[in-house]
Amino acid sequence: MNILRSIVITCIVFGSTSSIFAQREVIEYLPNFDLQTIHWGYYLGINNKGYKVSYLQANQNITIEESPGFNVGLIGDLRLHNNINLRFEPGLSTNTKVLYFTNLQGKQDSIREAGGTYLHVPFVLKLSTNRYNNIRPYILGGISYDYNFSSNQDNPDDNVGGQFRLKKHNFMYEMGFGIDLYLYYFKFSPSIRGVFAINNELKYDENLNSKWTGPVDFLGTRGIFINFAFE
């Protein structure tokens, strides 16, 4: 009788425990999503971009005040391997920067604004881990092209006339990481990446000894993008 009671209690406990674990079983959403050869999406995000500056002369300093900007764009994803994807992510980004030439006196000479709207066109490789339930971390890296719609490269006036000039065509490399979250209807992917200029973006003044651009050896974008992708 005691044995029978123990068996009954054991069955009840086992059945209850199994029921609890069954309720906790994770439902895998979009199980075949990553089997697609090509898929599409879009992203929204924010950025904080400034400039990396190096100098030809000592005792020179440009202080850069950065303002947050916005990103929006499309995603084209090509599956190359179970864990490797090639992504094309054309979009627009906006950002404003104020440059303070601390070695100069007077507001008219020492302050320049570099606002910009950019066509940002990255090609990146995405390297993902294997999927675990509904999450999949990844890293990414690649190159990108920026077209500066706000460039005044062709303006005949330079800093003598109050014009701080930047080039139209620029190239970057970028690296970052993120995580894919598989939801019921779509995949949501927050990511963060650093963007670093390859070429010098500065358009030099006509006077090679300009007190604004003469001391500068290199000026190029350096920033952080935080994107939220929907695929």
Q: How would DSSP label each residue in 135-190?
A: EEEEEEEEEEEEEETT--TT-S--GGGT---B-SEEEEEEEEEEEEEE-SSSEEEE
97 contacts 66 by C-beta, under 8 angstroms: yes
Strand partners, 206: none
Structure tokens, 99? 């440059």
- 178 part of a folded domain: yes
Q: Tell me the C-alpha to C-alpha distance, in Å, between residue 17 and each of 5, 10, 22, 28, 46.
A: 18, 10, 9, 22, 46
- 92 part of a folded domain: yes
- 174 part of a folded domain: yes
11 contacts 18 by C-beta, under 8 angstroms: no
- Quick one: which H or E segment has residue 127? strand 111-128
User: Residue 108 and residue 157: Cα distance in Å, rounded?
Assistant: 15
Residue-range definition of the domain harbouring residue 159? 33-230
Structural domain count, the chain: 1
110 contacts 61 by C-beta, under 8 angstroms: no
- 144 part of a folded domain: yes
Q: What is the DSSP letter of 7?
A: H
- 22 part of a folded domain: no
Q: Tell me the C-alpha to C-alpha distance, in Å, between residue 9 and each of 3, 5, 12, 17, 18.
A: 10, 6, 5, 12, 14
Domain CATH for 209: 2.40.160.20
- 23 part of a folded domain: no
pLDDT at 118: 96
- 10 part of a folded domain: no
Q: What is the DSSP letter of 198?
A: S
pLDDT per position in the chain (231 positions), as tens?
444 454 445 444 444 444 444 445 789 999 999 999 999 999 999 999 999 999 998 778 899 999 999 999 999 999 999 999 999 999 999 999 999 998 888 888 899 999 789 999 999 999 999 999 999 999 999 999 999 999 999 999 999 999 999 999 999 999 999 999 999 999 999 999 999 999 999 999 999 999 999 999 999 999 999 999 999
User: Residue 168 and residue 100: Cα distance in Å, rounded?
Assistant: 22
- 3 part of a folded domain: no
Burial class of residue 44 in the structure, from the number of CB atoms within 10 Å of its CB (0-12 exposed, 13-18 middle, 19+ buried): middle
User: Residue 128 and residue 49: Cα distance in Å, rounded?
Assistant: 27
Q: Where are the alpha helices (DSSP H) in the chain?
A: 2-24, 107-110
46 contacts 69 by C-beta, under 8 angstroms: yes
